[in-house]
Structure 1
Amino acid sequence: MINVNGNSPLTQLPNVLTLCNITMGLSSIITASFGNFTLAGLLIIIGAFFDRLDGHVARKYRMTSEMGKQLDSLADVITFGLAPAITMFLLSFTDTVVLGFIITVIFVTCGAYRLARFNILNYSDVFIGMPITVAGFLLALLTLFQTQMPIHPYWTAISMLFLSYLMVCKREIKKV
C-alpha cells in the first residue's frame, strides 16, 4: 500500500487520471470534427480506461474527495455524453441534421440528468438506470461499427433514444 499524506502530490493522482479522461473526450470531439470517426471512437474507449482507473486508484488508496467526485461527473458528461453524441451526429446525421440535433440533445441531457440523480442518491449495490459511462461506451462501439458498415440514420436515432431511455429509467442494475 502506498503511504500518501494530505500534502503529497500523489493525492492528486486520481484527479490527474480524471483530467486524462476529459482530454480523451475533448480529443474525440476534435478528431470527429475532422472526420476521423474511428479514432474518435477509440479515444472514448481510452477515456473509459482512465475513468475506471481513476476510481480504482481513489478507492484503493483512500484518495477520494468531493473535488474528485465533481471532476469525475464533469469528465463523464464530456467523454461519455458529449463526445459520443457529437461523433455520432457528425458521422450519421449529415443528411438529417434536425433529427440528429434533437437526438444528440436528448442523449446528452439524459446523460447529464442520470449523473445528477446518481450524485444525490446513495445506492451502494445497484445503479438506477444505465450509467452514462456504459451508454457512451456502447455508442462509441456503435461508432466503430458504423465506420465499417454504415447504418441508416433512423436506426442510429432509435439506438441513441433507447440508450437515453435506459439512462433515465428507474430500473435497478446490479453493480459488477
Structure 2
Amino acid sequence: MKKHIPNIITLCNLFCGTVAVVLAARGHLEVAALWVVLGIFFDFFDGFFARLLHVKSEIGLQLDSLADMVTSGVVPGIVMFQLLTDSCWVKAYPDTLAFLPYIGFLITLASAYRLANFNIDTRQTTGFIGLPTPANTLLILSLPLILQYQPTAISVMLLHNTWVLLVITILSSYLLNAEIALFALKFKDYSFKKNALKYAFLALSVLLLFLLKVMALPLIILLYILLSLISKR
C-alpha cells in the first residue's frame, strides 16, 4: 500500500482539476481557482511523500504529468478563453473577432509541450527550465480573482482589454518553454545556508500576500523568475 500513497495524492490533484474544468467552463472562474489551488497543493505533496517513503516510480512521474495537464494545462486555457470572451474588443465585434478567445488555448498547448519535455529533460532533476505549469496557472488564475476581489480602474481597464490578454497569453506560453533556469521549491534538507534563496522567496511571498492579497500573485511569479536569474548570475 505504501507505494500507492503518492499516486493517490496525484489522483486527488486530477480530481480537483476535473472539477475546476467544469466550473471554469460554466464561467465560475473564482470557484474554479480554489479547486486549482487545492490541486496544486496535492501536486506539491505527492512528490514530497514519494521522496519521504522512498517509493518514486516511473508511473508516478507519468501520472503526475497527466494530472498536471488537466489542473495546470486545460484549466488556465479555459480561464483565458472566458476572459477573452468577455473582453472589450470581442464584445464590440462579436462576429468579426469570435475566433480570438480560442487563442487562449495556446496556454494549454504550451503546457502540454512543457510537461512532455520535462519528463525527458535530464537537466530538470533539481530545478526547472522554463516556468513550471502550476506557477503559470496561478498567474493566469490571478487575473479573474483580481477583477472579482480587488478591481481598480487600471486593472479593470487592462484585464478587459483584448490585446492585453492576448499579450499575456503569448508571454505565458513562451515562459513555459523558455530556456530560463528556475530553482525548485524542493528541500533535501532544511538548513538555511543551503536554502537561503528559497527561504527568502517564501518570506517575500508571504509578505506580498499579506500586503497586496490577490494582487500579489503576478508579482510573486515575477519575483520567482527574477530571483532565479539573479541566483544563476
Short-chain TM bin: 0.7 to 0.9
Contact 1:21/1:50 (<8 A) preserved: yes
CA–CA distance in structure 2, aligned partners of residues 145 and 92 of structure 1? 15
Q: Bigger relative contact order, structure 1 or 2, given CA contacts below 8 A and separation 6+?
A: 1
CA offset at residue 48 of structure 1? 0.6
CA offset at residue 18 of structure 1? 0.7
Q: What is the match of residue 38 of structure 1?
A: 30
Q: What is the match of residue 27 of structure 1?
A: 19
The CA RMSD over aligned residues, in Å, is 1.6
Q: What is the match of residue 81 of structure 1?
A: 73
Which consecutive aligned stretches of 4+ in structure 1 deviate over 4 angstroms post-superposition?
none
Q: Residues 97, 71 of structure 1: CA spacing in aligned structure 2 closer, same or farther, 3 A cutoff?
A: farther
Q: Percent of aligned positions with the same letter in both sequences?
A: 34
Contact 1:111/1:167 (<8 A) preserved: yes
CA offset at residue 125 of structure 1? 3.1
Contact 1:127/1:172 (<8 A) preserved: yes
After the TM superposition, which residues 91-170 of structure 1 pair with which residues of structure 2 at under 5 Å, given as runs?
91-94=83-86, 95=90, 96-104=97-105, 106-123=106-123, 124-148=125-149, 149=151, 150=156, 151=159, 152-170=161-179
Q: What is the match of residue 11 of structure 1?
A: 3
Give the residue type in structure 2 aligned to 1:54: D
Q: Residues 97, 26 of structure 1: CA spacing in aligned structure 2 closer, same or farther, 3 A cutoff?
A: farther
**Number of paired residues?**
167
Contact 1:21/1:48 (<8 A) preserved: yes
User: Per-residue CA shift, 1:69-105, capped at 9, x if unaligned?
Assistant: 111000111100101211231243243541220231x
CA–CA distance in structure 2, aligned partners of residues 91 and 163 of structure 1? 15
CA–CA distance in structure 1, aligned partners of residues 111 and 179 of structure 2? 14
CA–CA distance in structure 2, aligned partners of residues 24 and 111 of structure 1? 18
Any stretches of 5+ residues in structure 2 without a counterpart? 91-96, 186-233
CA offset at residue 167 of structure 1? 0.7
TM-score when normalising by structure 2? 0.67
Secondary structure of 2:122 counterpart: coil
Contact 1:45/1:140 (<8 A) preserved: no
Q: 1:173 aligns with which of 169, 182, 185?
A: 182
CA offset at residue 37 of structure 1? 1.2
Structure with higher Rg: it is 2
Q: What is the match of residue 5 of structure 1?
A: none
CA–CA distance in structure 2, aligned partners of residues 69 and 139 of structure 1? 25
CA–CA distance in structure 1, aligned partners of residues 47 and 16 of structure 2? 16
Secondary structure of 2:182 counterpart: strand
CA–CA distance in structure 2, aligned partners of residues 73 and 56 of structure 1? 15
Comparing 139-148 with 42-51, greater Cα deviation is found at: 139-148
Secondary structure of 1:160 counterpart: helix
